[in-house]
Amino acid sequence: MVYYHDDEKEKNEQDQRTTRDKLKSRNKWVLPGVVGLLLGMFLFAVALPSLIRYDILPYQIVVSQDQLTTQNGETADLNDNLQRLSLDVTTEITDIVANVSPAVVGIENIQSEATFWDQESSDAGTGSGVIYKKTDNRAFVVTNHHVIQGADQIEVILSDGSRLAAELKGTDLFTDLAVLEMDGEAVEHVIEIGNSDEVKVGEPAIAIGNPLGLNLSGSVTQGVISGKQRAIPQDFDGDGRADWQTEVIQTDAAINPGNSGGALLNVNGHLIGINSMKIAQSEVEGIGFAIPIDAAVPIIEELETEGQMRRAFLGVEAYSLEDVAQVEWQRSLNLPNNVESGIYLQRIEVNSPATEAGLEPYDVITSLDDQEINNIIDLRKHLYQEKEPGDEMVVTYYRGKEQNQVTIKLTEQE
């Protein structure tokens, strides 16, 4: 028999009361929990499909099954409420490439090599070209002068791989342009000429050509117009002096060896330039150049009809004042403050019209025939588009702070 002290008995009764209270509290939440669970299951199984069907939910629910059971026991096809998405990979760029690529061709320069026993032909190089015209079943191609230079035979490779013999109609060293003529029976596509003067810096540009040879024919690169009216000095005789300054469009669309003569296009697929050269230094990336089509068209037309360019000759090596720091305008050229643009003469050709007229190095030309000359591009356009050999031209220039004017009779450039 067990005996308890009064305090132990009281403690035992208190523990029993606490246990009973906990059980009552736990049982109080069981019934509401069960009811809530049943209600949630009801809503999920019955109400949710109806909410989805009538698009009442503020968000989209993706269910793995194709069907849900409605409140009436009917099946609701989820495909009726889900929008089917289709991805069309055809873009404006792919459309342009599909339309224009057949007009961009490969050019193969074939030269003869004489040996002791026989004369053999060899491939001296490849490039690209653009079919710009078709008339009387004859097709005409523009490419670069350096692509066909020294060729004994020229072959044009169409986009389908067929080869056609081409005749050289004319070529121009200074603008790096050449025109070829060939049978046009197999030619179905001619490129559409655009307007290079209207292009804006930053707008998209597309280059099509045959980089690194015909194995990569029809390659497409995309970039932007990085600059307009760039004047790039060219040294043709290797004497370290610039013989010419070529007007070009600058782009970051990749232009590699073999792209020369290919097409530079705008977003409408129109020809805005003939790809011509690339700065091929290891530390330079993304700088390519193209001959603006607006400057090229008059040359192409004259090469096609005359076989060569007849240019008026002044006999100066000139550069734009904008390429010189303004502090040098006053210090080295000693110009008055009101002179804001022009070209300075760095070198005068011996026995040239400029020499006979008394022009000297560091003279600054500001106008020709009373037309303002802001840069070297303006000089070349006036000289080669508005003048002929034998014409006279009024030259306004500064020698230091003194303004002078002289009339020069132009000769023909050799």
> Which amino acids are annotated catalytic?
146, 176, 260
Cα gap 128→138, rounded to integer Å = 19
In terms of C-beta density within 10 A (0-12 exposed, 13-18 middle, 19 or more buried), how is residue 118 classed?
A: exposed
In Å, what is the CA distance from 352 to each residue of 27, 125, 311, 412?
Answer: 115, 37, 14, 10
**Where are the extended beta strands (E) located within 271-361?**
271-278, 288-292, 312-313, 316-320, 343-348
Cα gap 385→310, rounded to integer Å = 11
When computed from its CA atoms, the radius of gyration of the chain, rounded to whole angstroms, is 40
In terms of C-beta density within 10 A (0-12 exposed, 13-18 middle, 19 or more buried), how is residue 374 classed?
A: middle
Amino acid at 319: Y
Cα gap 228→226, rounded to integer Å = 7
Length of the chain (residues): 414
Query: Residue 12: beta bridge partners?
Result: none
Cα gap 53→51, rounded to integer Å = 6
Cα gap 272→293, rounded to integer Å = 5
Using an 8 Å Cβ cutoff, are 76 and 49 in contact?
yes
